[in-house]
Amino acid sequence: MTRRDLYEILGVPRTANEQQIRKAYRELARKYHPDRNPGDKQAEERFKEASYASEILLNSDKRKLYDEFGEQGLREGFNPEAFRQYQRYAQARQGTGGAGFGSLEDLLNQVGGRGGGGAGAGGGGGWGRGFQDLFGGADVSDVFGGARTRSRRRDVVSDVSIEFLDAVRGTEQELSIQMPGEAPRGVKVRIPPGVRDGGRIRLRGQGQDGGDLVLRVHVREHPFFRRDGDDLLLALPVTVGEAFHGAKVQVPTPNGPVTLRIPKHARSGNKLRLRGKGVSRGEHTGDLIAELQIVLPESESIADAVDTIEPAYTEPVRKHLVL
């Protein structure tokens, strides 16, 4: 089955930048996330499509391969330069009246390996023999990263849902996986720190017939943390007194609470950065960014205090809201 165009899946143009792709993915992920659409298979498929599309298009190397070669360029072990030579060779044959092939799938369907039989196979001096001659006698499966050999293996794709903080910190989970035609079996999976929603974890040789087990990770939303790349975002409530006088307050982080100093005369919307308290991936660690939100008491008893404060405003607070 041919997969839909990845740009079409996300609803972005082929010229879209990283920010536009991330925004489009987040909107689709919020809309179709399995936790928000329990039992809805169509929504689940749309979520998986969007996750896969964003995974490819947010990876600059994979995006270049996809833009030039389409899905075939994403095959494991794909050799771009070899395929470009194949395309030039095919075009030259078309120019002289020979048969040409438009894609890697066409090539694998038409060309046999060394010593094959039949039309276009490597053993009869036909197209396959010419292809091997062009690449120094190499088998077509060698030139294109062993695609024919791998096609006999069966990768198994499964989904795993994890908590937000488990995705940030990393974790281990024991999963029950059922391969087609086999009894369920337990698989211990190490989730690396910093895995993203929609990310994939490949377990080599854990699929069928020597293939891999590919886990698609779904990260559940957190009640107060949000993620922006490797930074964590937190809306931090503070009292009027803490904002006016300044204060030291306790702030939660994935690795335990820390003390944050709020400067005097802070305002709602001010952002304070705790460096190195975000998401760690390899040698890089993001920051935790706390956005202050001044909270008024829910009591009419502060009415006199508010009336006292009101005359202290020396200019309109919305003076900048002018078109």
For residues 202-209, average pLDDT: 83
User: Do 163 and 128 share a structural domain?
Assistant: no
pLDDT at 138 over 50: no
The answer to the question of residue 57 being in a domain is no
pLDDT at 21 over 90: yes
The structural domain count of the chain equals 3
Helices (DSSP H) in the chain: which residue ranges? 6-10, 18-32, 41-57, 60-69, 80-95, 104-110, 127-134, 140-143, 147-151, 164-169, 240-245, 303-309
pLDDT in tens, 225-255: 999 989 999 999 999 999 999 999 999 999 9
The answer to the question of residue 174 being in a domain is yes
pLDDT in tens, 151-193: 456 788 888 889 999 999 999 988 888 777 778 888 888 999 9
User: Do 283 and 232 share a structural domain?
Assistant: yes
Q: Which of 116, 135, 151 is the last residue of a domain?
A: 151
Residue 128's domain comprises 73-151
267-275 LR contacts (CB < 8 Å, sep 24+): 267/243, 267/292, 267/294, 268/243, 268/292, 268/293, 268/294, 272/236
| CA atoms of 244 and 232, how far apart (whole Å) | 26
This prediction's pTM: 0.53
Query: What are the tokens at 48?
Result: 């998986």
Beta strand segments in 93-244, E: 156-162, 171-177, 185-191, 200-203, 213-219, 225-228, 231-238
Are the beta carbons of 290 and 271 closer than 8 angstroms?
Answer: yes
For the chain, report the end-to-end CA distance as a whole number of angstroms. Answer: 52
Provide Rg for the chain, Cα atoms. 28
User: Which residues lie across from 191 on neighbouring strands?
Assistant: 171
Count CB atoms within 10 A of the CB of residue 252: 14
The contacts of residue 38 (CB under 8 Å, 6+ apart) are: none
At 268 the pLDDT is 93
Query: What are the tokens at 313?
Result: 């405003």
| CA atoms of 189 and 167, how far apart (whole Å) | 13
Are the beta carbons of 37 and 44 closer than 8 angstroms?
Answer: yes
Q: Which residue has the tokens 């895995």?
A: 195
- CATH code of 168's domain: 2.60.260.20
Across the chain, mean pLDDT equals: 80
pLDDT in tens, 286-320: 999 999 999 998 888 888 888 898 898 888 888 88
User: Do 253 and 183 share a structural domain?
Assistant: no
Express as a percent the part of the chain with pLDDT over 90.
32
Handedness of CA 31, 35, 38, 39 (dihedral sign): positive
User: Do 166 and 133 share a structural domain?
Assistant: no
